[in-house]
Structure 1
């Protein structure tokens, strides 16, 4: 067969493989779409109720059982929905003795921790009520002193909400496309009768014009008077929203500050200033009495409201929620719901769930708006950030369920302070490893340091100089190989450590860090001491394989290990709660590419390049589907990075040279597959969409530019303000110095074992490593392509290549040091036979 025929045959194979990969990527998402189109009736109800309510039974995660959802049209004026709002109340504040009213309601209903993250790191009372009003993150204008919030004045007699222009101005300045007044406008358009009791409730039910939709009433701080006010206001209304007050931390009071444009204000008045001026401290409304007293006062008002509801509308559904933080520290708040519109399971106990988190017992404040509208049977506006509540069966007793929610919150609180030091240590350890490999093995530097020690004189200096001049690197290489594998095992160890209840220990930080180190050493021991220990790529296969499998299993079972873990998600931040977050995606991408390298290396060495490309295609398709499927990984930025990485790896495995035309084909396949993930998700009912479908809705609503600017700003902030940038740069420098340059040099000429690192190779050039690991070079290219694109298309930017580096580079160091131990100065420089290579 001539060389021309051989090249044509390779091109045909590459084309067929690319078509098969593209079909495999798109088909899993086209088939559900076709089935959904064939059965359109599943998306509507005969009564014309909203798709959110009608399809709520499908909104619970498939991993859970016993889910019950809110029926459409269950709320009427005779059986109203009563939303009781407070701020600063957490589950650990509740007990049967101190807060009997809230405690009793929690025993009867479905409960959860609620993430109240708003525009800023901590949420003020106005922010929480605005989230209910807008269905998105919205906030009051910031105060001069961090952690201080404005008090909410009552609505005027004509229903005008004081400070509304400030809220609109703050929403316009933020990048979350919030529309304060959306809930009020929607209720008014649907003809729902509603009443707001208290200043926060007036904010929640205000229309976009700044006036309360429906009726409004003043809320007394006296529990007795509040009960009478609710009893008088509730009849004849399908929805009642009641503000029962706030709980604030000491030295974090609510401050009475007039609107920047004058109080009260309306939207047509002048633009508000960015930061209202604080009054003198003696004018502050709240001096923060003991927390227990504040919570008891809130509970008394809740009890008065519940008594009034039982008397006036015994068939009402009650939703009690704490909408904001009590100070400058972001913490999850309490929420519970009971009544016919939010049924619990027959056992009488349940956890609240929502598709925005897919974590039973964890919801977000932005879920309240679609929940309220769904209970009322009102069509939910497209583009809301949240999803309606559902109740998921929980076998615990009422007190045990509250204890569980307290434990989950404690887990989230304890991990928050440990993440920063961990990442600092991760960067330091990796850079130390890179430094030892790059500088500590440099012969010129070792000799220069030895000469300076000899010039200093002394016994100790002479002994150190002799050690540095030693030409026997075996102990050092073995130590480096072991250290590299341990460092590479740290990421997977952080997830394994979350299987342990470390947050309940007397010293949670010591317990978590200790467990992570022990587990990393254990994983490294398996990689280095197993029966496969003599194979060159064994450490990579074990560590990367375990990382990939663990993350895949975790994302398939609800991403429980990622929540409140060192390299996972922090619930208080209000980011990703399910699927692959940026850190887990980086590890998954790096580990799956490395696994593909280990699986295909022996095939390529034996000349079975087509089979190797097929294996890469299978691994790539599985990884991409797991990452991008809306019901699994739900990662919009993942497939655009994964697909080209695996396509490039497959083409290089087949020996196909990359050209601009082929690169264009790779990018086209990537674009089609990536967009299909989001479009298919968008075509589902609003209540069933993940953030992929909501992104398409945002684009159609004209919000693409705000999303781009927000993500670009975050990308630049991470690039210039994160220590992880050092990790990424250090890893790139090490790969270039240790592998890329020697491999490129070895392709051009045989340079032997000269240079600063020649003493390690026993006459072999390190560039010859690709004779024993032929897929090493293609893997470096694939990793570079994947993380370059990931850096460009994700808001976390440099974080993605940095996290990927923390896994990939140490394992590549282990490959190099392992090769040096086998073919360097400890072994005769002989060419590897096919039989020897296949065993590695």
Structure 2
């Protein structure tokens, strides 16, 4: 059976970036010394008994049969399918996949999941740091505490228009407490609803949502599985098609993993579920459920004459790929996939810690002995850190999640690839080994981007579909790697032709850097809006410095404006495409034109500033500031070898300034905040230190260009 789920990236959320950024900040400290010589999404509890019953289901023409019946079951895992003969029997009768149930809050309790279906965008229903509560009951046909949920969206700037589903599809029916929450109108009232499932009334509904109940944590789980299978059979009898999905975790501290998604009967043989919001065979997200129910209706609505709530976050669920006929193989594939998304985060910490310890030990050995072997070993450990930024991607090509002990296998694979690149580069390129690492990262990421980023999904630099921040394209950590590689390789290419012609050198910068911008930003490739905002001005600045040797304040402003125009043009062109083909570039423009962008910007600002809630964020900021100061005031760096390197070749200074510019713009305008330049430093600084150590000591005095040469008055 062909594997349906090829890797791609997700945008890293702050919890991952904090961990990576803090550890990489340690590399900055290591570099300076050598130069001188986790919120788990989760879920819900039992349903509350209804305090009241909404209007009875309408009497309509019995020939109007249910077309979509969504059965939502919080906590339904693929391990449940494996343990249940009844659910296993459904696999070869269904299009199957996994569903990520990430919502706006830190937990995905049942109320969060049902509210997200109600809004069509990620909603926030539960209270942070508290267990998942019971679902609200109904009193006089209205969801209890509805206004509290509405206020919670405003408090957390989710922008989720609760009640959108019911306002758009007023004839949809609901069964069970969760369905009442999903089908509440904007004022919290619920119509066409029954407190328990009644198969006799299902056929009268054009569409329906059924709450299949929360999966018990232990006792009673077998009975719950049988109940779910019976619900599917009864819903199938209504001659519609059934979408069985997990919509939340069972408890707030539940194990993170994508849940079950099945759609039956299949249209043309059992295949793999997907949607344009994930662009991944075998994977959908919770907001796709709402889009599928609405099936082709307007993406923007005006409920009850209110202000437009904005477009849906999801897309209609479809099927793709080869037909599958082996239920056991499908289930094992889904379980393997869960391993793929479970292991990268803890193994990231383990690998980076190993590299830090190795670097500190090797550096200490060198500082004490000053021996040739110690120097070579220290260089190797620094280069291995650079190799790590390649290994995180190439490791996904090994399918480590199918190996015995997947976590340990990933740990070994990443370290082996990191060491392999370090050893090969050190042997072949000697003191210029760092260029080999950077060139490899540049080429690999460009090729990966053009191919649709198959190396990203499930790598250590993504949080996986549980987080659901990005399902395709380059995330922040990947961009940081590409930016460093592209800018250094652009500077190196310019240095090669600089003596012949400054114009040719500047053109080389634009070609090397421009190619990275195109791959990083093109929708369908890197699709990284925030990345091109930071990389474009950095490339233009490097090209200007290469051409003119200095820059005026007027030119600096012009470069900033040119970068803004270029990025805006890309976003607007994407906006002009059909709505279902837009990336988040065009979606952002649509929100901007609709005046619906404030919540998005506030959330991104909060994510950026969230790093400073812990000492780790401030440590990263200090490390980043020191690194940036070293690029503009090399005379203050207590390292003779660094100062000599700074003035050794004409393109060193412009390249370092371009790196600092990219990091600064990224820190100010990207939701990753200070973690973005910290990751850039974590890649660049160890490679620089490796080069300085490999080049050896030199007693020649260093001369540094005065600061006034950096920016000239016009």
- Give the alignment's TM-score, normalised by structure 1: 0.70
* Residue from 519, 525, 537 that aligns with 2:417: 519
Q: What is residue 791 of structure 1 aligned with on the other side?
A: 667
Contact 2:143 2:188 in 1 (8 A): yes
Secondary structure of 1:113 counterpart = strand
* Residue from 113, 117, 132 that aligns with 1:148: 132
* Residue from 135, 155, 167 that aligns with 1:173: 155
Q: What is residue 366 of structure 1 aligned with on the other side?
A: 287
Q: Structure 1 unaligned segments of length 5 or more: list them.
A: 1-74, 220-225, 250-288, 442-463, 746-754, 832-840
Question: Cα distance 1:525–1:135, how it changes in 2: closer, same or farther (>3 A)?
Answer: same
Report the CA distance between 1:184 and its aligned residue: 0.3
Q: What is residue 245 of structure 2 aligned with on the other side?
A: 321
* Residue from 419, 424, 427 that aligns with 1:529: 427
Secondary structure of 2:298 counterpart = coil
* Residue from 203, 206, 211 that aligns with 1:238: 206
Contact 1:630 1:677 in 2 (8 A): no
Q: Deviations over 1:725-773 (max 9, x none)?
A: 5456446646756x7655x59xxxxxxxxx9766xx7xxxx64435653
Question: Cα distance 1:757–1:161, how it changes in 2: closer, same or farther (>3 A)?
Answer: closer
Larger relative contact order, structure 1 or 2 (CA cutoff 8 Å, min sep 6): 2
Task: Please tell me whether residue 590 in structure 1 is matched to residue 484 in structure 2.
Answer: yes
- 1:235-634 to 2 correspondence within 5 Å? 235-249=203-217, 289-290=218-219, 293-294=220-221, 296-311=222-237, 313-314=238-239, 316-327=240-251, 328-329=253-254, 330-339=256-265, 344=267, 346=268, 348-374=269-295, 377-381=296-300, 382-399=310-327, 400-422=329-351, 467=369, 474-530=372-428, 532-533=429-430, 538-604=432-498, 606-634=499-527
User: What's the Cα RMSD here?
Assistant: 3.0
* Residue from 672, 679, 691 that aligns with 1:815: 691
* Residue from 42, 60, 75 that aligns with 1:88: 75
Contact 2:510 2:543 in 1 (8 A): yes
Report the CA distance between 1:555 and its aligned residue: 2.7
Q: What is residue 452 of structure 1 aligned with on the other side?
A: none
Task: For 1:723 and 1:497, locate their aligned partners in 2 and report how far apart those are by CA, in whole Å.
Answer: 28
Question: Cα distance 1:210–1:695, how it changes in 2: closer, same or farther (>3 A)?
Answer: same
Task: For 1:200 and 1:646, locate their aligned partners in 2 and report how far apart those are by CA, in whole Å.
Answer: 51
Task: Please tell me whether residue 110 in structure 1 is matched to residue 95 in structure 2.
Answer: yes
Q: What is residue 579 of structure 2 aligned with on the other side?
A: 686
Task: Please tell me whether residue 124 in structure 1 is matched to residue 45 in structure 2.
Answer: no
Task: For 1:432 and 1:741, locate their aligned partners in 2 and report how far apart those are by CA, in whole Å.
Answer: 30
- Give the alignment's TM-score, normalised by structure 2: 0.81
Q: Structure 2 unaligned segments of length 5 or more: list them.
A: 1-61, 301-309, 704-714
Question: Cα distance 1:303–1:385, how it changes in 2: closer, same or farther (>3 A)?
Answer: same
Question: Cα distance 1:396–1:481, how it changes in 2: closer, same or farther (>3 A)?
Answer: same
- 1:629-668 to 2 correspondence within 5 Å? 629-668=522-561
Q: What is residue 210 of structure 1 aligned with on the other side?
A: 188
Question: Cα distance 1:426–1:132, how it changes in 2: closer, same or farther (>3 A)?
Answer: farther
Contact 2:351 2:415 in 1 (8 A): no
Question: Cα distance 1:335–1:310, how it changes in 2: closer, same or farther (>3 A)?
Answer: closer
Contact 1:181 1:207 in 2 (8 A): yes
Question: Cα distance 1:722–1:550, how it changes in 2: closer, same or farther (>3 A)?
Answer: farther
| Paired residues, number | 630
Task: For 2:527 and 2:464, locate their aligned partners in 1 and report how far apart those are by CA, in whole Å.
Answer: 18
Task: For 2:250 and 2:422, locate their aligned partners in 1 and report how far apart those are by CA, in whole Å.
Answer: 44
Report the CA distance between 1:625 and its aligned residue: 1.3
The structure with the larger Rg is: 1
Contact 1:491 1:567 in 2 (8 A): no
Report the CA distance between 1:310 and its aligned residue: 4.2
Task: Please tell me whether residue 164 in structure 1 is matched to residue 142 in structure 2.
Answer: no
